[in-house]
Chains A and B, each alone.
Chain A
Amino acid sequence: MILKTVANVREALDGIEDEMTLMLGGFGLCGIPENAIAELVRRNVKGLTCISNNAGVDDFGLGLLLQKRQIRKMISSYVGENDEFERQMLSGELEVELTPQGTLAEKCRAAQAGIPAFFTPAGYGTEVAEGKETREFHGKMYVMERAYEADFAFVKAWKGDEAGNLIFRGTARNFNPCMCGAARITVAEVEELVPAGELPPNQIHVPGIFVKRIFQGSNYEKRIEQRTVRTK
């Protein structure tokens, strides 16, 4: 067995530097790497390019990095829930690259799978396709999109073991599995870290080969963005 455990979040972020490109899992505030984000804030690394479906809210998630102006560029599909984001974007402090959600996921997956580029129908005929190669297959037009290149991927899982195997829970899975192994170094934080052998091999969502470092996370807030209920 190859051990992937590191002692804590500080060790997990060893090697992080200004100007790096990061992938961060999560959809809205669901399944985000809360501990890694807190450590990025503490280290105060600057000039980051962040690939993440959303940009958090003002006081949580990637909003915490925006508050301290640590992000130079955001690559996302939807960024609607954050006033500070809007202010920085409109003032030109923050560069934003909006990417269709499925394309964003596939650009991660392609990087993970060693595929440099792929063709997708999403965005054909729109401004997203401007400057990109297009091609017809079976009578339909497609846009060529390239795999991402990133330094670190930060993902969050429900359970993990010392070998780096991961299991996710509910829709907190989202972009996390696609980002594992898609960057030079993948760091997984988990709610529950167990010894190797305790997670059934049949139940593993992401095999440990895609994970470089794993640590037991703490103090998960797991904030709900839109609390919707029905009455009994």
Chain B
Amino acid sequence: MLDKNGIAKRIAREVRDGYYVNLGIGIPTLVANFVRDDIQVEFQSENGVLGMGPFPFEGEEDADIINAGKQTITTLPGASFFDSALSFAMIRGQHVDLTILGAMEVADNGDIANWKIPGKMVKGMGGAMDLVASADNIIVAMMHTNKAGKSKLLKSCTLPLTGVQCVRKIVTNLAVMEVTKDGFLLLERAPGVSVDQIREATEGRLVIPDEVPEMPI
């Protein structure tokens, strides 16, 4: 079974040379730490920066340079700043190659819910609806089950949707899956996790091939 860093590490393998990548808050942010350093990748943050670098050294924080999580950041050579309309032109216009984000629920048709729990304080969708509606390549990073032990991979989402039929791939603490017309296609198992464990933790339709290799981590 993987921890959050393990999930991020596995997703980092999906990041290819020449990709522009938008990372959501939470596990997706960790992906930046594991991307191979022999490939060229630029991270976009929807508040208006391409070419995001690591956090600044203490004393070098700049109030004018933050990411979408409102954290102080730095920029790398080749970086650029732009306004919010242009930022979402990059996103909606599918110029960003890969979007990695977290979710509360994913349905086996690719629907995603990650912004609102009825009865709880609703903070808002931020840029998530724009990202999921537009991106060609969306990977969801999340735990396979919620804190109550219930599956987050469902036949259909119970929470208000963020987007419909948009998720392409899901990496959880248990497995890597691809969304197909027949449901979640099981591609890989996490180290030490059996197919039965994954089947048990998945409520939506799960397609299990004859061979399900262990993840290369």
Contacts and interface: CB of A to CB of B under 8 A. Distances in A.
Nearest to A232: B57
Given A224-B63, A224-B72, A231-B57, A100 B130 contact: yes
Contact of A30 (B70, B125, B160): B70
Interface of B: 45-49, 54-58, 60-73, 81-85, 87-88, 91-92, 111, 121-130, 133-134, 160-164
Contacts of B47: 27-28, 30, 171, 174
B55 A230 contact: yes
B57 A100 contact: no
Nearest to B69: A226
Interface of A: 27-31, 53, 76-81, 86, 89-90, 98, 100-106, 108-109, 120-128, 158, 168-178, 205, 222-232
Contact of B160 (A121, A126, A168, A172): A126
A229 B133 CA distance: 33
A102 B133 CA distance: 11
Nearest to A90: B121
A72 B18 CA distance: 46
B81 A106 contact: no
A51 B61 CA distance: 28
B48 A78 contact: no
A98 B121 CA distance: 13
| Cβ-closest 10 pairs across A and B | A102-B88, A102-B130, A80-B123, A125-B164, A170-B64, A105-B84, A121-B133, A78-B124, A100-B129, A101-B127
A123 B72 contact: no
A173 B66 CA distance: 11
